[in-house]
Amino acid sequence: MMRAWILPMLLVASGSVVAAVRLLEGSPGTAVVLLTVFLVLGGLYSPLIFPRPVGAKEAERRSAVDGRPVVYWRPGCRYCMRLRLRLGRGARRLYWVDIWRDPEGAAAVRAVNDGNETVPTVVVAGRAHTNPDPAWVRQQVSPSA
């Protein structure tokens, strides 16, 4: 759980130091802008932008019932973030499994990716797709799909 927060905390700490230096140099406007940028980056790389994760077994069970895709992801993954942001509010219709929190989820990802924990891995109708196009994933959760 803690390693998911290492990068966001480093970004916020670095931004604070850079902003403090700029403030001491007499550039309060630059300090505010830089601190804001680092805070936004910290937020983007945190687990906060993702829907609440569920366990792999629970996600698989729910997916079998309603047919919604399961997304295996990990915090700090830029491809996972790209998928999440491109899905917009539709991301809440998928089941998200954080492989850093769930060893069974990590094992499921390794099983379909030649032993690698390559994410995002999206499972649709029992078939795994590694780093799929977000537009394709959006089609899988659209009401007409």
Report the predicted TM-score, pTM, of the whole model to 2 decimal places.
0.74
* pLDDT category of residue 7 using cuts at 50, 70 and 90: confident
Say whether pLDDT at 107 is over 80: yes
- Considering the domain 51-141 in this protein, what is its CATH number? 3.40.30.10
| Domain map (residue ranges) of the chain | 2-48, 51-141
Map 23-66 to HEC letters.
Answer: HHCCCHHHHHHHHHHHHHHHHHCCHHHCCCCCCHHHHHHHHHHH
Give the 3-state secondary structure of residue 132: coil
Residue pLDDT, tens place only, 52-105? 889 999 999 999 999 999 999 998 899 998 999 899 888 889 999 999 999 999
- pLDDT-derived band at 141 (thresholds 50, 70, 90) equals confident
The predicted-structure confidence for 21-59, as pLDDT tens digits, reads as follows: 999 999 999 999 999 999 999 888 887 778 888 999 999
- Residue type (1 letter), 31: A
CA Rg value for the chain: 18
Given a cut of 70, whether residue 18 has pLDDT beyond it is: yes
Q: H helices within 49-114, ranges in order?
A: 56-66, 78-87, 103-112
Helix axes 134-141, 78-87, angle to 10 degrees: 50
Other C-beta atoms within 10 Å of 35: how many? 19
